Amino acid sequence: MTKQFSSVWTREERPPKAPGLSRDQIVRAALDLLDAEGVEGLSMRKLGARLNAGATSIYWHVANKDELLELCYDRVWVDVVVLDPETAHWRPALSTFAHSLRSTILRHPWLARLLGRIPGLGPNLLSVSDRIMRLMQRAGFEGLEISFATGTVMAYVMGQTIPEVTWRETMGKQEIQPGDLMNILEKTTADDFPELFAAFRDTRDMDPLETQRMSFSYGLECVLDGLEARVNA
């Protein structure tokens, strides 16, 4: 075996810097950017830079920024846990689903901004919906109630978690403690809203994260109780 002559001129040109961009690669980079800097931090130019590409190269793989966001949005649903519809009991399955969805949203706070903007049509979200509906159908729900019940749980989780994210972000950005905020508000408006501030005071000495978790679980049990009352009606 003889060593071959080697130089730039003899070596075949490699496929230009990796096989070029792929949609998958773009979405992964976008997710990184979203997790690191939020929706506001994701721009086509920054994303291009992170991929060592021109900003406008992305438009070959994706029609526009909204489509890119649809892809990102759908991607996170792979992490949401839905127990096996064939074997799990519907109530604990719905409960783990709800907590799993909540923690996914809290892990990717930018989701809170997309829920009012992106229609959920991706395969991962559809798959989650389908599994939950199978769960409900096996539980004894029938006809329209299958999707109504499913929608109720999803609505509750999102509605509870979105403002939760908004709070965490504003607290974080302003570097303020919930207690401080309460003190500021209290001075100006406590007299006008007695019941509201009474409730604030009740939670003053509690860990706000723990309070939010309790609040979430409380409402979830309400919803599940309401469903349970209908399951055999």
Partner DNA sequence: ACCTGAACACCGTTCAAGT
For binding to a second copy (CB under 8 A), which residues are involved?
A: 112-121, 123, 126-127, 129-130, 133-134, 137, 143-149, 151-152, 154-160, 162-163, 165-167, 170, 185, 189, 192-196, 199, 202-203, 211, 214-215, 218-219, 221-227, 229-230
140 binds DNA (CB under 7 A): no
Q: How far is the CB of 37 from DNA (least distance, A)?
A: 9
Residue 50 binds DNA (CB under 7 A): no
Q: 18-48 in b/e burial notation, b at 16+ Cβ within 10 A?
A: eeebeeeebbebbbebbbeeebeebebeebb
Asked whether position 61 contacts DNA by CB under 7 A, the answer is yes
Residue 189 contacts which entry, a second copy, DNA, none (Cβ below 5-8 A, type-dependent): a second copy
134 binds DNA (CB under 7 A): no
**Is residue 39 a contact partner of residue 113, using CB atoms and an 8 Å limit?**
yes
Using DSSP's 3-state secondary structure scheme, residue 87 falls into coil
- Is position 60 an interface residue for DNA (rule: CB under 7 A)? yes
Reduced to 3 states, what is the DSSP secondary structure of residue 100? helix
Write the DSSP string, 138-200: HHT--THHHHHHHHHHHHHHHHHHHHHHHHHHHHHHHT--HHHHHHHHHHHHTTT-HHHHHHH
Residue 12 neighbours by CB under 8 Å, 6+ apart: none
Tell me which of a second copy, DNA, none is bound by residue 123, counting a contact when its beta carbon lies within the kind-specific cut-off of 5 to 8 angstroms. Answer: a second copy
* Cα separation, 203 vs 129, whole angstroms: 35
Q: Using CB under 7 A, count the residues that bind DNA.
A: 21
Of 61 and 134, the one with the shorter C-beta distance to a second copy is 134
DSSP assignment of 25-85 equals HHHHHHHHHHHHHHHHH--HHHHHHHTTS-GGGHHHHSSSHHHHHHHHHHHGGGG-----T
Binding of residue 20 to DNA (CB under 7 A): yes
Please identify, using beta-carbon distances, which residue of 94 and 111 lies nearer to DNA.
Answer: 111
Is 226 an interacting residue with respect to DNA (CB under 7 A)? no
34 vs 94, beta carbon nearer DNA? 34
Shortest distance (Å) from residue 51 CB to a second copy: 26
Taken as a whole, the chain contains a residue count of 233
Interaction partner, residue 117 (DNA, a second copy, none; CB < 5-8 Å by kind): a second copy
Which residues contact DNA (rule: CB under 7 A)?
A: 16, 20-21, 42-46, 48, 52-57, 59-61, 64-66
